[in-house]
Amino acid sequence: MKTGKDWFIISFILSLVFITGCAVTGSTSSFVLKPGAAMADSRAAKINVSSVELEKDASRLENVGVFSWGKYDSKDVGIFSKSLKDSMAGAQSAQKIEAGKILNVYVIIRTFMVASSNTGGAALACVAWAAADTDNNLIYHEQFYASDSVKLIGTLGGLKNGLNKAIARRIVETSLKLADLDRTQAVEEQPFEKTYGSFDKATERLPKQMTSMYQNNFVFGNPYHVTATLSSGIAWNWSEHPDNVNWEEYLNKNQ
Q: What is the pTM of this model?
A: 0.84
Alpha helices in the chain (DSSP H): 4-24, 74-92, 156-179, 199-203, 247-253
| pLDDT attached to residue 188 | 74
Query: pLDDT (tens digit, 9 = 90+) per residue, 69-105?
Result: 889 999 999 999 999 999 999 988 878 899 999 999 9
What's residue 40's pLDDT?
A: 59
Q: 39-48, 181-190, 199-208: lowest mean pLDDT where?
A: 181-190
CA 130 to chain centre: 18
- In angstroms, the Cα distances linking 161 to 82, 125, 158, 168 are 13, 12, 5, 10
pLDDT band at 155 (very low <50, low <70, confident <90, very high): confident
Evaluate whether 80 touches 167 at the Cβ level (below 8 Å): yes
If residue 242 lies in a helix (H) or strand (E), which one and from where to where?
Answer: none
User: How much of the chain exceeds pLDDT 70, in percent?
Assistant: 80
Domain boundaries, the chain: 4-205+237-253
The pLDDT confidence band at residue 7, using thresholds 50, 70 and 90, is very low
